[in-house]
Structure 1
């Protein structure tokens, strides 16, 4: 496991590394400040940020970093201001622990954060797939309506025609429907 520990206090960073003792294989790198380029070059499996109190610049850098390269992030802070925990979670932080940094807790918190990160990643993928499926379904419905209007077909006949075109070309039904709508737009003089 590759862990990037971001903490201006070397003693606190050592406490995080101590909490990971026994994890094999383990590579821990310490940085006083979060640097996106350094994080990208090291490619950690998890980022641990420890500080007295998180600052908005660090949270914004984490947001940009996790958007470009999603990975679990754990924050251990000694104190927190109202709203910072929510802002940190929105920036991609998987676990936000206030006044709870102890060597014996580090490993368990990281394991939970990594599990939560995996779960959230799967939920995001499922949501994106559902959105794409819904968009495809809407496109197919519009293409069926076009075929019904232009060719005088019943709904099931229009669907069968789209499905046959899909199978004949080896392309997904939604892609065939989108092409049909684009071609119809061109023939009517509309730009795609």
Structure 2
């Protein structure tokens, strides 16, 4: 029997309360993801306008750059304010150290933008350098979203976060495709390197959107299917990927490409907003359900404690439908530690029920996070190449992809092997 039922019940209630606190933190994290989504979209717009400013000077005035900068400033202020709110609740956040380490990278990368913009207006940076700088800033923001997704402890919300993160990353690759295509159309020819980079971006988009479809709810899957791809955009894609001869591409197509790619990305943003709405609604539903469960469990606990008090005062305790126990049979119910068997059975049932429910949650999370492990390994391998070989993110990805193709292995297998070798050499003798 249970020697201290009050303590057992207290821990059960604390477990429930911790779950509720975790869900409330997830709601705040989900709100952060929504604000990051808006900031990323504004940065993508500024990157696109900057690209046109450098490649098609007659089409973009400096005033347009300032408008895009102002839009980014508004979205950036909202993200920063939310991060500062989260900083006040680090004791309740899962993996707060990793989360705020990512946040520090975001803040640092954003602090570099004013100097970048000044050089951009002076045209003292090349178009690839400007694009790389914007890409890096957006990459840090998406890494923060990934951190939130990776630490979500509720399966339904984790699925929604993974769907949204995957879609955001696919949209970012679509933005990079827009920039690369506009710059190449402006020159009137696609070099083999540019064509390969374009094909890589298309492939990476498809992989992200496939993951999105795996994790998204039915309504947002349907929205994605309805979004489709514009036929004229696909035509320009085929031209970009197949024609290389000088003069084979009309430089005037640059603005047409940019307009169609922008319409496609704006459509993605509307779907991204729908994903955010789904995520927030799911968080609210889970919180409401958890609060109801806490109230129900509190009522059960109160009832059990009343039974224990009745038992302690010598009253008979019986279940509905049972006959009133005689004092002799009641005495037989009492265990050596002073807890009646019925109370012990009720406590055991509560403990087992809660344990089984948490086990189901853990199993569901383990299954889902297996899909994130590949992404994490690939990102670690890319980061290692970027740090030790001075590569850009695209160069690191192409290196991994080239090794995978030459060895007829999956990308994650190459990344895992590379990390394993690095760990061996970094381990102390």
TM-score range, shorter chain: 0.3 to 0.5
- In our comparison, the structure showing a higher alpha carbon Rg is 2
Higher relative contact order, chain-length normalized (CA < 8 Å, sep 6+): 2
TM-score normalised according to structure 2 size: 0.17
TM-score normalised according to structure 1 size: 0.35
Between Structure 1 and Structure 2, the one with more helix by share is: 2
